[in-house]
Amino acid sequence: MGNLASAPAGRVLDPDRVTGDPATPEYWRAKGDAHAHQRNEAFAASKAAYDARDHARAGELSCRGKQHAEQSKAAHARAAQLLLARNNARSGPGQLDLHGLRVGEAVEAVERALEAARRDGGPQRLVLIVGKGLHSPDGQSKLRPAIEGLVRRQGVHVRAGVPNAGCITVELLPPGQNGWVEWVLGACVIC
């Protein structure tokens, strides 16, 4: 398992060979990706063993794949936690920078922020910084449509592209009540 010779340039496929600073999200992303690769290899080998009627080996490899899946999930969760902390270290309570998060991670972060704001009487206006997708492989934002859909389903006032194209502004107001999102089109220097 973990054929290092087949690794794409700069990518380590063995979780035990990931180097770097464990205090950075990049380290945990690499660790998570390496575990995901090992998971995929284990499941492929498990299927091959099953097809060869070696059910004991297939079961063993399947268990190994599940272990790598859990380790990958934990590593990516740690990366997301570190990214959120780094991105939002200087942000105010009404702003959440989601840069660098994967879609599922960003959805969870926004759900937690909306829940906390409703529960604790936190900011009633939240600027979600999703970016424009410039760093996405195809140049299209993955976060914007997912987060915009999520907040629209939450029954809050939503204004995409406010204060700029990389943001979504949400107001936690009862339906039918107009908030500042209805009239403001100002610029945001931070976003």
Q: What whole-number distance in Å separates Cα of residue 113 and Cα of residue 107?
A: 10
Question: What token pair was written down for 89?
Answer: 């270290």
9 — pLDDT class (breaks 50, 70, 90): low
Question: In this structure, what are the phi and psi dihedrals at residue 133, rounded to the nearest 5 degrees?
Answer: 90, 10
Give residue-wise pLDDT tens across range 78-96: 999 999 999 999 988 889 9
Q: What are 112-171's pLDDT values in tens digits?
A: 999 988 888 766 889 999 998 888 888 888 999 999 999 989 878 888 888 998 999 999
Supply the angle between the helices 143-153 and 103-120 in degrees, to the nearest 10: 30
d(CA 114, CA 127): 11
pTM of this prediction? 0.80
